[in-house]
Amino acid sequence: MSAPASTPSRREQILATAADLFAARGFHGVSVAELGAACGISGPALYKHFPSKQAMLAEMLTSISERLLEVGRDRVATAADPADAVRALVDWHVDFALAHRPLIVVQDRDWESLPVDARDDVRRLQRAYVDVWADQLRALRRDLTPDAARASAHAAFGLLNSTPRAGHALRDDELRSLLASMALAALGVPTAT
């Protein structure tokens, strides 16, 4: 039996609402007043939680990048071998992509709105996440150069991060299965038996 999911903090609720609004209308298309109203508070009350709208965007993208890396490392640490590790990474990333479609849109579209220091942090975290994948791919396929392994990881991310645009006619469980099997095939990793 799994532990019950914890209730998101008010700060996490605000970030989730902001992600939905930014994904739908763009970072610059959402005012602080509109964001506050969507959260059930006044726009200025948001400043009790975040110093600025840019700070919300920065925390949104930095925290999810930290989470991707943390869980990715955990999955690899508990894997039986490199193939199992890649399967675990694919499973984790599909879970992330299905649960966080708005964040994928926001990252793609509103990257330039991030403050420079946050952009640097997100890039550093994302490079580390790519390297987690690349290390396992190289352990599995000795013919891959480090650059080819990183490119393979990026290509898999492109497929897995297509969730905001793909599969609208499919249930999430069907899309999950399709994306996972396609990513594993593209990476040359057999599905678990």
- pLDDT-derived band of residue 1, with 50, 70 and 90 as boundaries? very low
Instruction: Kindly give, in sequence order, each residue whose CB lies less than 8 Å from that of residue 99, ignoring residues fewer than 6 positions away.
Output: none
Q: Provide the terminal-to-terminal Cα distance of the chain, rounded to the nearest Å.
A: 24
C-beta of residue 78 within 8 angstroms of C-beta of residue 37: no
pLDDT reading at 83 higher than 50 = yes
State mean pLDDT over 51-61.
95
State mean pLDDT over 128-136.
98
State mean pLDDT over 40-57.
91
Q: What is the pLDDT of residue 5?
A: 60
C-beta of residue 153 within 8 angstroms of C-beta of residue 72: no
| pLDDT, tens digit, 9 for 90 and up, residues 90-113 | 999 999 999 999 999 999 999 999
Using DSSP, state whether 168 is helix, strand or coil: coil
State mean pLDDT over 167-189.
91
Position of tokens 């490392």? 73
State mean pLDDT over 46-52.
91
Q: What is the pLDDT of residue 63?
A: 95
Domains and CATH numbers, the chain: 54-187 (1.10.357.10)
